[in-house]
Amino acid sequence: MKYFNSEKITYKSIDERRQGERAFHWYDPDRIVLGKTMREQLKFAASYWHTFVAESADMFGTGVLNKSFGGTDPIEIYKNKADAAAEFMNVVDLDYYCFHDRDIAPEGKTLADTNRNLDELSDYLGGVMAKNGKKLLWGTANLFNNPRYMHGAGTAPSADVFAFAAAQVKKALEVTVKLGGNGYVFWGGREGYETLLNTDMALEQENMARLLSMAVEYGRKIGFKGDFYIEPKPKEPTKHQYDFDAATVIGFLRKYDLLKDFKLNIEANHATLAGHTFRHELATARVNGVFGSIDANQGDMLLGWDTDEFPFDVYEATLCMLEVIKAGGFTNGGLNFDAKIRRGSCSLDDMIDGYILGMDTFAHGLLAAAKIVEDGELDAFISDRYASWNTGIGKKIRDGAATMEELSEYALMRGDVLSTVRSGRQEYLEHVVNDKIYECK
Ligand code: XLS
Ligand code: NI
Ligand code: NI
């Protein structure tokens, strides 16, 4: 207990809940759900940037949290961040963390200085995390903060900026490999545009694909065995982001023959910004074979930007975990809380409550999703709804053996088909889902 005023958070059943006490009421790490412990099913991770770097500043006001953790010079501050990160992860019982290169080491005057900082501080961070048994879920490069990237990084109009971005990705990959990372993320922060009046869209997208293929080639060359991910987001900071949503990214990857090399990191708040549900984005990734990892957070129904709230919506978490189960569970991926406490929650210890909230929400969601799967009613409903595809004309169409002429003859012979159309029973099914959430213990 140095940076945070809390002992390790443990599970306590909801019946024993006491006012004001910090405890998990749903996340019971060793409890077995569908054959695996909750710890293994959920693979929770800390986002280094929100948790140990960002100080709750917003567009209209400065930071309200001090995250120098007692350090004074830059190197000391980042070493203290690493110590604080390990302590925090022990407190909330997190096994994994995720970072951008610039979260763990400050930029120097030149790229060479910056790389030296990164070498020194990633060695330090690696030591601290190894000592505490913590693992790197994924690393990434921050290609959006520095003014050099104002027009893009992999999609910059300037080839020099592109080269600089490539150098940064190269180094971030090396650090990720050194720290044993299971994944490497590309979120295209500035990879988009504000106006086509000054933009060569075709060239920008081709260049992005070039950067991605070079990164894959280099990563594999230096021994990276984990997954490469793209994290879709439709807007913010740019008006049009190229990686709009899962379907757009899949189309892009297919066009540039990168589908074999990438999976998706789906963020809840990005899904809703794109006008989709979280589940839609997860399902799109799953049915296309590219489900990878999750940035667990929540947007606000009334606000049109990436509010990155800690998730409290058990309903959404249930549908999310249903998709994770259908995808066969996480392999290299996990649930990273790309989330921040509200600015008015102005104590560092509020972050503990944020993670407890998020972890309990997903633990409850996992339990409810497991009930839905074990109960089988929803799956049976869907199979039954599509039963006509297993025999007769349906099977013939699926087998590719039907022609337009034959279908026309069939329809003429069949006459009215409205009698075969049955209710989708949406409200009944929604009630089933609610019941499974309420049934959890
Ligand atoms: C921003 C993104 C970012 C990525 C990592 O909206 O969610 O935090 O997860 O670069
Ligand atoms: Ni994210
Ligand atoms: Ni985001």
pLDDT tens readout for residues 403-424: 999 999 999 999 999 999 999 9
CB 170 within 8 A of CB 143: no
How confident is the model over 315-370, as pLDDT tens digits? 999 999 999 999 999 999 999 999 999 999 999 999 999 999 999 999 999 999 99
How confident is the model over 162-214, as pLDDT tens digits? 999 999 999 999 999 999 999 999 999 999 999 999 999 999 999 999 999 99
CB of 231 sitting under 6 A from ligand 1:
yes
**Would you say residue 367 lies in a domain?**
yes
Predicted local distance difference test score (pLDDT) of residue 187: 98
State whether 124 and 219 are in the same domain: yes
Q: Which CATH number does the domain housing residue 244 bear?
A: 3.20.20.150
For the cut 90, the answer to whether the pLDDT of residue 268 exceeds it is yes
Residue at which a domain ends, from 330, 358, 375: 375
CB of 191 sitting under 6 A from ligand 1:
no
**Would you say residue 2 lies in a domain?**
no
Provide the domain count of the chain: 2
How confident is the model over 232-250, as pLDDT tens digits? 999 999 999 999 999 999 9
**Would you say residue 58 lies in a domain?**
yes
Supply the range of the domain harboring residue 145: 14-375
In eight-state DSSP terms, residue 59 is: T
Ligand 1 atom nearest the C-alpha of 233 is 6
Atom 2, ligand 1: residue with shortest CA distance: 187
Residues found in the chain: 441
pLDDT band at 1 (very low <50, low <70, confident <90, very high): confident
Predicted local distance difference test score (pLDDT) of residue 361: 98
Predicted local distance difference test score (pLDDT) of residue 366: 98
Residue at which a domain ends, from 375, 391, 414: 375
For residue 439, report the distance from its CA to the centre of ligand 1, in Å.
Answer: 35
For residues 96 and 338, what is the distance between their CA atoms, to the nearest angstrom?
Answer: 13
State whether 213 and 303 are in the same domain: yes
For residues 242 and 199, what is the distance between their CA atoms, to the nearest angstrom?
Answer: 13
74 Cβ contact partners less than 8 Å away, ≥ 6 residues apart: 106, 117
Residue at which a domain ends, from 375, 406, 425: 375
CB 366 within 8 A of CB 304: no
CB of 267 sitting under 6 A from ligand 1:
yes
Q: What integer is the mean pLDDT of 34-41?
A: 98
State whether 361 and 408 are in the same domain: no
CB 139 within 8 A of CB 150: no
**The residue to which tokens 């087998």 are assigned:** 399
State whether 355 and 383 are in the same domain: no
State whether 411 and 268 are in the same domain: no
State whether 309 and 394 are in the same domain: no
Predicted local distance difference test score (pLDDT) of residue 67: 98
**Would you say residue 9 lies in a domain?**
no
CB of 308 sitting under 6 A from ligand 1:
no
For residue 348, report the distance from its CA to the centre of ligand 3, in Å.
Answer: 21
**Would you say residue 111 lies in a domain?**
yes
Catalytic center residues: 100, 103
Percent of the chain with pLDDT over 90: 100
For the cut 90, the answer to whether the pLDDT of residue 98 exceeds it is yes
State whether 177 and 71 are in the same domain: yes
State whether 371 and 425 are in the same domain: no
Predicted local distance difference test score (pLDDT) of residue 256: 98
State whether 311 and 202 are in the same domain: yes
Q: What angle do CA 313, 307, 185 make, to 5 degrees?
A: 95
What is the average pLDDT score of the chain?
A: 98
Q: What integer is the mean pLDDT of 92-105?
A: 98
Main-chain dihedrals φ then ψ at residue 238, nearest 5 degrees: -85, 160
State whether 287 and 419 are in the same domain: no
CB of 184 sitting under 6 A from ligand 1:
no
For residue 186, report the distance from its CA to the centre of ligand 2, in Å.
Answer: 10
State whether 370 and 384 are in the same domain: no
How confident is the model over 139-167, as pLDDT tens digits? 999 999 999 999 999 999 999 999 999 99
State whether 279 and 392 are in the same domain: no
For residues 341 and 200, what is the distance between their CA atoms, to the nearest angstrom?
Answer: 39
**Would you say residue 4 lies in a domain?**
no
Instruction: Tell me which amino acid residue 142 is.
Output: N
**Would you say residue 101 lies in a domain?**
yes
**Would you say residue 59 lies in a domain?**
yes
Instruction: Tell me which amino acid residue 358 is.
Output: G
